[in-house]
Amino acid sequence: MLSRLALLTLFSVLLSACASSNPLGMSDEQWQQLTPDERKELLLREQQIRAERSKAQQIANNQARELELQRQIEEQKRLDKLYAAPQNGNVIRVNIMGGSFQRDKQHYKIMPQSYTLARGERYEIDIELRDAANGRLRDLPAYLHYRPDGAGVELSLHYQNSSDQLRFLNDGDWQCGSHYQQSLRLDKKELIKLKTYIEYLGGKANRCNRYR
């Protein structure tokens, strides 16, 4: 009986990818061939397998959370170190000077804002918009990313990994600040025009005029 049951169990596991309401993915024909005792044992075995899989998944999830937490802790330490002594372009200030945003027939004015980022940092922001018709304020979700190599800043609109991006390449003048004017059309319905000013913080940047 055990030998037969073991063979049926192995065969059922191999076929588990097939949809079945029977234990271990067995077909109705296989299930009907079993005795009541064999069915009971298979049901218990299936419960055991599910419990083991659930436990293994829980362990894997816990390990993944621990690794992610450790990564976040190490990343925060790295950022804190850069912010404590900004120099050589490790920390920048991105100033949104203004601009406009259009969605269909609605027009908005982009309000001035300022953000500080360290190399490699990704920062979620809300671009503040003022309705040109009634003056009401609303937010446009976006993400700022200062590239780890210091080569530029990317502004992703709506979603963190969005392909709709404004890119501000480091022109070599960030030590004393650089002005940018860029525009981007999204999905044929939205148009953003943005004025920005990017500058290094710390070091020689303190001896430059803030705006040229």
- Encode pLDDT of 124-156 as tens digits: 999 999 999 899 999 999 999 999 999 999 999
- Encode pLDDT of 26-41 as tens digits: 787 787 878 888 878 8
| Listed residues 82, 110, 126: the one ending a domain | 82
Considering the domain architecture, whether residues 103 and 67 belong to the same structural domain is answered as no
CA proximity to 162, closest of 176, 148, 143 = 143
- Domain membership of residue 32 (yes or no) is yes
Q: Which residue has the higher pLDDT, 80 or 162?
A: 80
Q: Is 16 helix (H, G, I), strand (E, B) or coil?
A: coil
Q: Average pLDDT in the 69-83 region?
A: 94
pLDDT over 70 at 5, yes or no: no
Crossing angle of the two packed helices 2-14 and 36-84, in degrees rounded to 10: 40
Output phi, psi for 185, to 5 deg.
-100, 135
Q: What is the mean pLDDT of the chain?
A: 85
Q: Is 120 helix (H, G, I), strand (E, B) or coil?
A: coil
Task: Provide the domain limits for residue 133.
Answer: 91-207
What CATH number should be reported for the domain holding residue 118? Answer: 2.40.128
pLDDT computed for residue 3 by the predictor = 53
Considering the domain architecture, whether residues 132 and 157 belong to the same structural domain is answered as yes
pLDDT over 70 at 10, yes or no: no
Considering the domain architecture, whether residues 113 and 186 belong to the same structural domain is answered as yes
| Listed residues 36, 54, 82: the one ending a domain | 82
Considering the domain architecture, whether residues 113 and 169 belong to the same structural domain is answered as yes
Q: Which residue has the higher pLDDT, 20 or 90?
A: 90
| Listed residues 65, 82, 99: the one ending a domain | 82
Instruction: Name the domain count of the chain.
Output: 2
pLDDT computed for residue 34 by the predictor = 80
- Domain membership of residue 212 (yes or no) is no
Considering the domain architecture, whether residues 100 and 170 belong to the same structural domain is answered as yes
From residue 8, alpha-carbon distances to 29, 38, 52, 67, 197 in Å are 12, 10, 20, 40, 70
Considering the domain architecture, whether residues 34 and 52 belong to the same structural domain is answered as yes
Considering the domain architecture, whether residues 27 and 72 belong to the same structural domain is answered as yes
Lowest-confidence pick of 14-18, 60-64, 94-98? 14-18
Distance CA 175, CA 145 (A): 18
- Is 111:130 a contact under the CB 8 Å cutoff? yes
Q: Which residue has the higher pLDDT, 1 or 91?
A: 91
pLDDT over 50 at 18, yes or no: no
pLDDT over 60 at 102, yes or no: yes
- Encode pLDDT of 151-199 as tens digits: 999 999 988 778 889 999 999 999 999 999 999 998 778 999 999 999 9
